[in-house]
Amino acid sequence: MIQELPAMINARVLQKQCRAGDRSFCCKECLMGPCNFSINNSIGVCGAKRELVVSRNMLRMAAGGAAAHCGHAQELLDFFSASVSTEKILKLIPDYILRIWKNLGIEIPAKPGEQFREITDALHLTSMGVSGDYADVLKWSIRMGIVDGYFGLYLATNTEDKYYGKPKVKSGHLNLSCINPDKINIAVHGHEPMLAEAIVKQAKNFPDVNLIGVCCTGASLLARHNIPHAAHFLLQEDVVATGLIEAMVVDSQCIMPSLSDLCECFHTKLITTSHIGKMQNALHLPFNNEEEADAAAFKIIETAIDNKANRKTDFEEHFKVNKPEEKHVILGFSDETVPVEKMAEDIAQNKVKGVIAVVGCANPRSDLKGWVEAFKILSKDYYILTTGCMAFEFGSKGLLDGERFFHLGSCVNNSRVAEVFRKISVKLNRQINELPFIVSAPAPITEKAVAIGMFFTSIGCSLHIGEPARFASDPIVANTLISVLHDTFGTKLYVNTDPLEFQKQLLIEHSFVQL
């Protein structure tokens, strides 16, 4: 298999994105298609126009993201046999936001489980021959944002905090240098915390085991237990490619299917644990409750220990010589530890222009270096809150200082960002949508990033997307979104792929607020 690795890499490098799909100009909702809407005024076989198709594609992405976050929350609740109570969470929605939603004709799910009905409805209405009204479809994207935010992000984060504790501010270690060639390395990758927490508990009895985290599970393990965060989405393959990982344990979301082939090229044992996240060539160790999770964690550690004998010692030498420089970051912030009062005062006294939340993924198609540099410059005028893979990106460049850049955790922890915005607005006695709060997803990859963007839009934040193709490819859709944000919320939509241009745009357009 190891001989096939260069061929696999070449095939991926040569993979070209479809020009129609890249701009969301492709409809695949029925078997008369696919229809291509690249030419102006194109009409599909069924009569659908481009604005309908682009809107439907966007809603389907938002629904996919909401399904992932609500699914994450539900898995947690099932694991703890806990009943769903969103009453406390929904009380956090300010009355003025509820009024805006009411004016838009949007109602929030009232009964337990109704969020899943909303997701089903979004998929139903975007299937062939249901909604033909592109503006209503766009409105549903905002509705999916609400479902994602309160029944996904908030519910998952609050449940995690209830059972595993709220993170505390600390100094932590981030990047591949945390892999230890002298120990048994177990990488825990994915999003849900249940198995990761069980492994942390079990690993305490095995001093030769070095636990490391990947992706959002990595962000959570770092924030709660100071387990080093080895890699974000983009670097997950690099973790295995060190040849030093005895077990790569995955659950769900953002797990590259390539790991299956990649682990075969090395001695790494790939272990899946989610009932929906199966992989080829993997050992599957599912669990349903704490007792079973402990047993699965013990078995994983045993498997990793046994597998160490299969590691090639050449990789140890290579790693020691080429070990990346250690990066230390300040992290573990929540809405209770971010200096909300100071932020509010600084906004009121015109010491800063506002707060930018840089969320979501690190897409290799984007100018990541340029974005990091742009936010570094913007941090002179704005506080920067960050989560997910962008937080890792900032950390690996030494920017997570806990003074201007605040790491608030994984992607579901974006509810903490929303809480910071809400608390600042309460302190200043202003509505969220009257304050300079911008949420930026400069390099989105997943459907979850679209749902998160829609959530922050729905609570009155301005939104920046560094991926115009899906949002602004069709001028009718782009203008509708811009006017909904402007007329309904009084906020802005920035669609910009150029870091320098965006940075200049913000500095020119945004002056200090007059409170």
Report the interface residues with ligand BF8, using CB under 6 A: 191, 215-216, 232-233, 254, 360-361, 388-389, 410-411, 445-446, 448-449
Please report how close the Cβ of residue 212 comes to ligand BF8 at its closest, in angstroms.
15
Please report how close the Cβ of residue 21 comes to ligand BF8 at its closest, in angstroms.
19
Please report how close the Cβ of residue 410 comes to ligand BF8 at its closest, in angstroms.
6
Residue located via tokens 């920017």? 399
> Closer CB to ligand BF8, residue 53 or residue 465?
465
Residue located via tokens 């300079």? 436
CA distance 260 to 275: 17
> Closer CB to ligand BF8, residue 388 or residue 453?
388
65: how many CB neighbours lie within 10 A of its CB?
Answer: 28
DSSP state of 433: G
> Closer CB to ligand BF8, residue 243 or residue 466?
466
CA distance 223 to 225: 6
> Closer CB to ligand BF8, residue 210 or residue 446?
446
> Closer CB to ligand BF8, residue 211 or residue 451?
451
DSSP 493-515: EEE---HHHHHHHHHHH------
Please report how close the Cβ of residue 204 comes to ligand BF8 at its closest, in angstroms.
26
Please report how close the Cβ of residue 87 comes to ligand BF8 at its closest, in angstroms.
26
Give how far Cα 102 sits from Cα of 115, 143, 431, 491, Å: 17, 11, 16, 18
> Closer CB to ligand BF8, residue 433 or residue 446?
446
CA distance 433 to 3: 56
| Torsional sign, CA 465, 56, 94, 511 | positive
Please report how close the Cβ of residue 361 comes to ligand BF8 at its closest, in angstroms.
3
> Closer CB to ligand BF8, residue 65 or residue 436?
65
95: how many CB neighbours lie within 10 A of its CB?
Answer: 8
Amino acid at 392: F
Please report how close the Cβ of residue 486 comes to ligand BF8 at its closest, in angstroms.
28
> Closer CB to ligand BF8, residue 106 or residue 256?
256
Please report how close the Cβ of residue 323 comes to ligand BF8 at its closest, in angstroms.
24
Of how many residues is the chain composed? 515
What are the tokens at 507? 């500095």
CB 23 within 8 A of CB 469: yes
DSSP 98-123: HHHHHHTT-----STTHHHHHHHHHH
| Torsional sign, CA 483, 489, 495, 501 | positive
Please report how close the Cβ of residue 363 comes to ligand BF8 at its closest, in angstroms.
8
H-helix or E-strand spanning residue 175: none
Please report how close the Cβ of residue 417 comes to ligand BF8 at its closest, in angstroms.
13
H-helix or E-strand spanning residue 340: helix 340-348
> Closer CB to ligand BF8, residue 388 or residue 442?
388
Please report how close the Cβ of residue 500 comes to ligand BF8 at its closest, in angstroms.
23
> Closer CB to ligand BF8, residue 372 or residue 449?
449
Vertex 212: Cα angle to 444 and 386 (nearest 5) = 35
Burial class (CB in 10 A: 0-12, 13-18, 19+), 197: buried
| Torsional sign, CA 87, 164, 191, 462 | positive
> Closer CB to ligand BF8, residue 389 or residue 495?
389
Torsion angle of C-alpha atoms 330, 158, 70, 89, degrees rounded to 10: -120
